[in-house]
Amino acid sequence: MPVLFGTASATREAYGDRMAIQIRTFGVAVMLLAVSATPIAAQESIRYRDFLLGSDLATVAKIIGAQTTSARTIYTQPAMMQNLEWRPRYYTSAVAVNDPVDVMVFKFYDGKLFAIVSDYDRRRTEGMSPADMIAAISETYGAVSEVPSRLVGTQTMQYGYPDTPLAVWGNAASSVTLYRVGETKSFRLVVAESRLEALARTATAAALQLNIDEAPQREIARQKRDADAALAAQEKAKAENKAQFRP
């Protein structure tokens, strides 16, 4: 009997050890699954379609089949600010023709992609509610998150129209924000890298102030150019008329 008792006790201890190992293993698996299921990791940049935030102008231009010279320079001081516009549905593939995005604007700070602004074609989102849009975007970017730099429901004029944020995905490093655009009630998606976007905002404010400060000098220079051009035209007309004049 003592032998049988000892055997049963050992069996129970072995069983308990196996259960403990299985529980620990299950816990690790759950943790790994949770990490792998997170669409936007805190340490990585957000990718929007084929575009990665932080990419240079040449890389983005190559993806969309454009020339870097197509980028429009917004400011040169205190930093180079450029926009590159792309209309994906003008491509010949069936996927592009059915693309819900009307226009994308790639925004660069000193040659680095800091934001992608996608305006959706109203015909491609007709009948879709904000909840429908949020659900569709969540399939790619996961659960809606809270980002301090975005106040949901508060209008902003950051991208040219009074946009109202509806939902935000991402983390402190980068974010995806769905907007309702002004009176048109269309949708806009803005994917942004927070550090570069903050630098771009600061540079934009400084550029605007610089324009204000330099406005008087620019006006004086403009008036001088106009006066010089008028004088040159008058002198040319005088020379031509004198050569041809007959009393």
Amino acid at 118: S
What is residue 79's predicted lDDT score, i.e. its pLDDT?
92
What is residue 171's predicted lDDT score, i.e. its pLDDT?
85
Exposed, middle or buried by CB within 10 Å (0-12, 13-18, 19+), for 176? buried
What is residue 33's predicted lDDT score, i.e. its pLDDT?
33
180 close to 166: Cβ distance less than 8 angstroms: yes
What is the Cα–Cα distance from 38 to 124, expressed in whole angstroms?
Answer: 29
What is residue 220's predicted lDDT score, i.e. its pLDDT?
77
As a dihedral over the C-alpha atoms of residue 92, residue 94, residue 100, residue 106, rounded to 10 degrees, the angle is -40
What is the Cα–Cα distance from 225 to 117, expressed in whole angstroms?
Answer: 38
Q: Which of 189, 144, 197 is nearest to 163 (CA)?
A: 189
What is residue 164's predicted lDDT score, i.e. its pLDDT?
86
Question: Is cis: bond before 100, omega within 30 of 0?
Answer: no
Model pLDDT for residues 155-178, shown as the tens digit of each residue: 666 666 678 889 999 888 899 999
What is residue 36's predicted lDDT score, i.e. its pLDDT?
35
What is residue 227's predicted lDDT score, i.e. its pLDDT?
84
Greatest alpha-carbon span in the chain: 146
What is residue 195's predicted lDDT score, i.e. its pLDDT?
93
What residue ranges of the chain have pLDDT lower than 70?
1-45, 91-96, 146-161, 218
What is residue 193's predicted lDDT score, i.e. its pLDDT?
94
Alpha carbon of 26 to those of 3, 15, 18: distances in Å?
A: 34, 16, 12
What is the Cα–Cα distance from 177 to 179, expressed in whole angstroms?
Answer: 6
What is residue 157's predicted lDDT score, i.e. its pLDDT?
60
pTM above 0.95, yes or no: no
Close Cβ partners of 52 (under 8 Å, ≥ 6 residues apart): 45, 113
What is residue 43's predicted lDDT score, i.e. its pLDDT?
52
What is residue 66's predicted lDDT score, i.e. its pLDDT?
93
Sequence ranges of the domains in the chain: 1-37, 47-201
Q: How many CB atoms lie within 10 A of CB 136?
A: 13
Alpha carbon of 196 to those of 70, 82, 192: distances in Å?
A: 22, 13, 8
